[in-house]
Amino acid sequence: MSTPAVPSVLFVCVHNAGRSQMAAAFLTHLAAGRVQARSAGSVPADRVNPAVVEAMREVGIDLSAETPKVLTTEAVQSSDVVITMGCGDACPVFPGKRYLDWQLADPAGQGIEAVRPIRDAIQLRVRVLIDELTSTEPRTAEHTHSPR
């Protein structure tokens, strides 16, 4: 029996300094090797937003050593799922890839109080994504676990 390939997810936002960094960090932390996470920005910032670093530190994830990365065609091509977060048309589209657009507030220029709810919304979405990508059960519209 062969081992199935680990699915890969690319999170993309404009500056790769907030939302996409948080999403990739949550996916890496919560998936524990079952899903590969990357992030990039169409116009990367010089550093990760300090309020984002602090908000993630509050939940036990250290982003202080992370740096924003530029979005490349290769990164998109080598990903199974591409999740955009307000990058508009900057993300190249390739056939056969799954694309999702997560509408989330931009933490740029925001303080920690504004970043926390964005962080929490990202964490919830990442948990759902992990369940979708790692589930071995067939997907049906009316799937339940109750006995018949």
Selecting among 12, 13, 14, 76, the annotated active-site residue is 13
Q: Which domains does the chain have, with CATH numbers?
A: 8-130 (3.40.50.2300)
Average pLDDT over residues 31-48: 94
Selecting among 10, 17, 71, 87, the annotated active-site residue is 87
Selecting among 24, 35, 52, 91, the annotated active-site residue is 91
- What's the pTM? 0.86
Q: Tell me whether residue 104 is one of the annotated catalytic residues.
A: no
Higher pLDDT, 92 or 113: 113
Q: What is the 3-state secondary structure (H, E, C) of the chain?
A: CCCCCCCEEEEEECCCCCHHHHHHHHHHHHHCCCCEEEEEECCCCCCCCHHHHHHHHHCCCCCCCCCCCECCHHHHHCCCEEEECCCHHHCCCCCCCEEEECCCCCCCCCCHHHHHHHHHHHHHHHHHHHHHHHCCCCCCCCCCCCCC
Q: Tell me whether residue 91 is one of the annotated catalytic residues.
A: yes
Higher pLDDT, 93 or 24: 24
